[in-house]
């Protein structure tokens, strides 16, 4: 194999061959003869005649190859004081047992299972058990509130929901069962059963629709892997769009397994028997891909960490984990490193830990600011690799391909497009812009294996959200530029999606919640730069006429109610802490709220106000509130 340029050229000159070769790393029940079905653009399908089982490839294949005793998953939980190693054999057996339990509850191929779990190994077991049966899992991040879970239950229509009695957030025990019960109460769809993992920190009371995880596994006969079509869905993962209704990103089976396996060797440089530590959450795509599926498909060891970078109990936990398990590559979000930098600016907590096996730090999920990049590089003395991808793509789009060759690093850039990705920057008319010029970042179709084939039950929204802005291109929703050397710089979203501590959130969704308050006439939520979380939301509300805003204590009471409403309905991760009561919102003559102009003022980067503004005086009046003067 040559360097990056050679590998990239091979992926362009003979795409079929390139991806069929990559697919050959997997066990296929029926090997694919074709790579790409492009007969119905933009609905592309990978390995259309192939059949496989992803769980078999992640577990049984390695046991059969003689690596049953090797560590597959290491669970490390400083918040519960628990550590546990799952060998490939143990993990396969536990997955087979839980798959049997799901089957006994009526889950079959193609059925959906919603998984609402904290960071425990059983979350990965549940995902892999679904894959074993050919069922489609939909993991919902534990930090989302009941209403968000209900929306996802209604869209995915699961046969079963798998949950736990509680999660642990620092020193707080968060009971999940009341949230699940509330969500099921709100949803129109009724799952037949809930399987509940009882954790010692809080026991859940089980009702007539609830089944205990341990007893259902004990009673089940193990299930074997069921071959499915490569194009069959492995999972649906909801992600925030510009409205309150999340988008159900569909992930196929064979294309995803192929892309992940390729990325482990060529991007993350982790092979069989080596260890990847991804500090994220199974509720996000980073967790799906690089805590669960990719390391296991590669026969590597994955660390599943239940804790935070700081405070559980200290800023040394990442280094402890890296040294204890001989981690080769570590992957987390920049916000985690900003938290470390704030807590331990001198990196004193690294002392005493043997980090000699740690070769790379990978960061993604939000923009990596050059300051954090420099701090991490100097602290660790290893390549710090910023890379860029999305829930929709499933694996990196732009990265420094450490497993092929390390390209020169440029702070602020995630480096170059990976094989399979034709990344371009277009102006509003769909024309490529010159190097150094900002525009919409798009991927020329077809995208490589692993990228979303559509949205769950919503081909129309797939087309309107991603495929209609520029025909023949996938609209990433991110803006930025390419430099003269072909390095990409991602500057931020071009829509109303914000990124708070690596959590992708919809300002539209928060606006819907604020607008539901009886005193609110209209509102806007904008994302504003934040030193720790990257961005935080700020809300601005206009009251209905007749509301006595001058009444004593009214404003602070309303603000507290609105903050709590978003916390209750979206979740604590929304981190909306700041709501201002204002007299009017700036709008265009056609009535569109000028959120970008508001954000510019709040961030102190004054730019010309659009000439379409209806009344510039409204924006002027808002300035003190935006600048918090
Ligand atoms: C490339 C494709 C992608 O982008 S996939 C997405 C990748 N993103 C990530 O991996 C997320 C990275 N971020 C993190 O892991 C966390 O933000 C880190 C850095 C660990 C900091 O955590 P924390 O201190 O809790 O701050 P936060 O902003 O995440 O949380 C805000 C409030 O929400 C809460 N929360 C968080 N997670 C949960 C959960 N699972 N269950 C219940 N609550 C949760 C936090 O406790 C916090 O609450 P509070 O406001 O302090 O009361």
pLDDT tens for each residue of 526-584: 999 999 999 999 999 999 999 999 999 999 999 999 999 999 999 999 999 999 999 99
- Its pTM surpasses 0.95: yes
Q: Whose CA is nearest to atom 30 of ligand 1?
A: 573
| Tokens read off for 85 | 């190693």
**pLDDT digit string (tens) for 192-223?**
999 999 999 999 999 999 999 999 999 999 99
Q: How far apart are CA 233 and CA 57, in angstroms?
A: 16
- Is there a contact between 423 and 394 (Cβ–Cβ < 8 Å)? no
Helix, strand or coil for residue 521? strand
**pLDDT digit string (tens) for 36-65?**
999 999 999 999 999 999 999 999 999 999
CA of 502 to the centre of ligand 1 (A): 8
CA of 501 to the centre of ligand 1 (A): 6
Q: How far apart are CA 298 and CA 274, in angstroms?
A: 9
- Taking residues 349-374, report their average pLDDT: 96
CA of 585 to the centre of ligand 1 (A): 30
**What's the mean pLDDT when you consider all of the chain?**
97
**H, E, C per residue of 264-318:** HHHCCCCCCCCEEEEECCCCCHHHHHHHHHHHHHCCCEEEEECCCCCCCCCCCHH
- Taking residues 370-378, report their average pLDDT: 96
Q: Is 523 left (phi over 0), alpha (psi -120 to 50) or beta?
A: beta
Q: Whose CA is nearest to atom 39 of ligand 1?
A: 143
pLDDT at position 607 over 90: no
Helix, strand or coil for residue 604? coil
Q: What pLDDT, on a 0 to 100 scale, did the predictor assign at position 496?
A: 86
Q: What pLDDT, on a 0 to 100 scale, did the predictor assign at position 613?
A: 94
CA of 575 to the centre of ligand 1 (A): 9
Q: Whose CA is nearest to atom 38 of ligand 1?
A: 143
CA of 573 to the centre of ligand 1 (A): 6
- Is there a contact between 268 and 276 (Cβ–Cβ < 8 Å)? yes
CA of 588 to the centre of ligand 1 (A): 35
Q: How far apart are CA 269 and CA 190, in angstroms?
A: 44
Q: Whose CA is nearest to atom 48 of ligand 1?
A: 572
Instruction: Calculate what percentage of the chain has a pLDDT beyond 90.
Output: 96
- Is there a contact between 138 and 235 (Cβ–Cβ < 8 Å)? yes
Q: Whose CA is nearest to atom 19 of ligand 1?
A: 336
- Taking residues 389-403, report their average pLDDT: 98
CA of 7 to the centre of ligand 1 (A): 36
Q: Which of 57, 55, 58 is nearest to 72 (CA)?
A: 58
DSSP class of 157: -
Q: Which atom of ligand 1 is nearest to the CA of 281?
A: 10
Q: What pLDDT, on a 0 to 100 scale, did the predictor assign at position 1?
A: 67
Taking the CB of residue 178, how many other CB atoms lie within 10 A of it?
12
Bridge partner list, 167: 174
- Taking residues 328-336, report their average pLDDT: 98
Residue 111 pLDDT grade (very low, low, confident, very high; cuts 50, 70, 90) = very high
Residues 6+ away with beta carbon under 8 Å from 506: 240, 241, 242, 243, 244, 246, 496, 497, 498
Helix, strand or coil for residue 230? coil
CA of 503 to the centre of ligand 1 (A): 7
| Residue of 175, 263, 499, 502 to test ligand 1 pocket, by largest number of atoms within 8 Å of CB | 502
Q: How far apart are CA 254 and CA 28, in angstroms?
A: 9
Instruction: Calculate what percentage of the chain has a pLDDT beyond 70.
Output: 100
**pLDDT digit string (tens) for 129-151?**
999 999 999 999 999 999 999 99
Q: How far apart are CA 574 and CA 242, in angstroms?
A: 15
| Tokens read off for 108 | 């079959």
Which residues form ligand 1's pocket by a CB distance below 6 Å? 142-143, 167, 169, 174, 280-281, 284-286, 308-309, 333, 335-336, 339, 364-365, 389-391, 501-503, 533, 572-573, 575
**pLDDT digit string (tens) for 479-512?**
999 999 999 999 989 888 999 999 999 999 999 9
Residue 457 pLDDT grade (very low, low, confident, very high; cuts 50, 70, 90) = very high
CA of 500 to the centre of ligand 1 (A): 9
Starting at the edge strand that comes first in sequence, how are the strands of the sheet with 534-543 ordered? 520-530, 534-543, 579-582
Q: What pLDDT, on a 0 to 100 scale, did the predictor assign at position 241?
A: 82
Residue 346 pLDDT grade (very low, low, confident, very high; cuts 50, 70, 90) = very high
The complex's ipTM?
0.97
Q: Whose CA is nearest to atom 3 of ligand 1?
A: 365
């Amino acid at each position: 194999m040559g360097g990056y340029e050679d590998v990239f050229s091979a992926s362009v000159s003979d795409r079929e061959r390139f991806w069929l070769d990559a697919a050959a790393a997997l066990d296929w029940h029926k090997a694919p003869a074709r790579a790409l079905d492009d007969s119905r653009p933009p609905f592309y399908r990978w390995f259309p005649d192939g059949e496989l089982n992803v769980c078999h490839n992640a577990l049984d294949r390695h046991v059969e190859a003689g690596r049953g005793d090797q560590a597959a998953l290491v669970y490390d939980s400083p918040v519960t004081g628990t550590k546990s190693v799952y060998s490939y054999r143990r993990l396969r057996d536990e997955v087979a047992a839980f798959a049997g339990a799901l089957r006994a509850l009526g889950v079959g191929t193609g059925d959906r299972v919603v998984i609402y779990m904290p960071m425990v190994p059983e979350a990965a077991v549940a995902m892999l058990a679904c894959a074993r049966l050919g069922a489609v899992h939909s993991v919902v991040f534990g930090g989302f509130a009941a209403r968000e879970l209900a929306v996802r239950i209604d869209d995915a229509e699961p046969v079963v929901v798998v949950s736990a009695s509680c999660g642990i957030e620092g020193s707080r025990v968060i009971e999940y069962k009341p949230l699940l019960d509330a969500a099921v109460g709100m949803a129109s769809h009724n799952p037949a059963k809930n399987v509940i993992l009882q954790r010692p920190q809080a026991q859940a009371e089980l009702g007539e629709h609830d089944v205990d995880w341990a007893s259902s596994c004990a009673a089940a006969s193990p299930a074997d892997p069921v071959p499915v079509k490569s194009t069959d869905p492995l999972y649906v993962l909801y992600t925030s769009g510009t409205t309150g209704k999340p988008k159900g990103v569909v992930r196929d089976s064979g294309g995803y397994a192929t892309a992940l396996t390729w990325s482990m060797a060529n991007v993350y440089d982790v092979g069989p028997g080596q260890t990847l530590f991804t500090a994220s959450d199974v509720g996000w795509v980073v967790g799906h891909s690089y805590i669960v599926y990719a390391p296991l498909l590669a026969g590597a060891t994955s660390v599943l960490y239940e804790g935070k970078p700081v405070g559980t109990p200290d800023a040394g936990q990442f280094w402890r984990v890296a040294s204890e398990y001989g981690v080769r590559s570590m992957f987390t979000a920049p916000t985690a490193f900003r938290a470390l930098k704030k807590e331990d600016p001198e990196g004193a907590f690294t002392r005493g830990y043997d980090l000699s096996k740690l070769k790379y730090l990978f960061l993604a999920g939000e923009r990596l600011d050059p300051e954090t990049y420099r701090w991490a590089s100097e602290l660790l003395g290893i390549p710090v690799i910023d890379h860029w991808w999305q829930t929709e793509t499933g694996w990196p789009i732009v990265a420094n391909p450490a497993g092929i060759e390390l390209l020169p690093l440029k702070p602020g850039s995630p480096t170059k497009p990976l094989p399979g990705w034709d990344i371009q920057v277009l102006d509003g008319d769909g024309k490529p812009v010159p190097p150094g010029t900002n525009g919409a970042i798009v991927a020329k179709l077809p995208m490589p294996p692993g990228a979303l084939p559509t949205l769950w039950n919503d081909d129309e929204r797939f087309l309107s959200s991603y495929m209609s802005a520029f025909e023949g291109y996938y609209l990433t929703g991110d803006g930025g530029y390419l430099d003269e050397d072909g390095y990409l710089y991602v500057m931020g979203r071009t829509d109303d999606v914000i990124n708070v501590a690596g959590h992708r959130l919809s300002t539209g969704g928060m606006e819907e919640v604020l607008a539901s308050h009886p005193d609110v006439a209209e509102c806007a939520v904008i994302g504003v730069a934040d030193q720790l979380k990257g961005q935080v939301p700020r809300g601005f509300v206009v009251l209905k006429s007749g509301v006595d805003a001058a009444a004593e204590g009214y404003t602070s009471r309303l603000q507290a109610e609105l903050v709590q409403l978003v916390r209750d309905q979206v979740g604590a991760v929304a981190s909306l802490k700041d709501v201002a009561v204002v007299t009017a919102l700036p709008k265009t003559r056609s009535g569109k709220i000028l959120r970008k102009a508001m954000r510019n003022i709040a961030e102190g980067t004054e730019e010309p106000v659009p000439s379409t503004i209806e009344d510039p005086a409204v924006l002027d009046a808002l300035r003190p509130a935006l600048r918090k003067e």
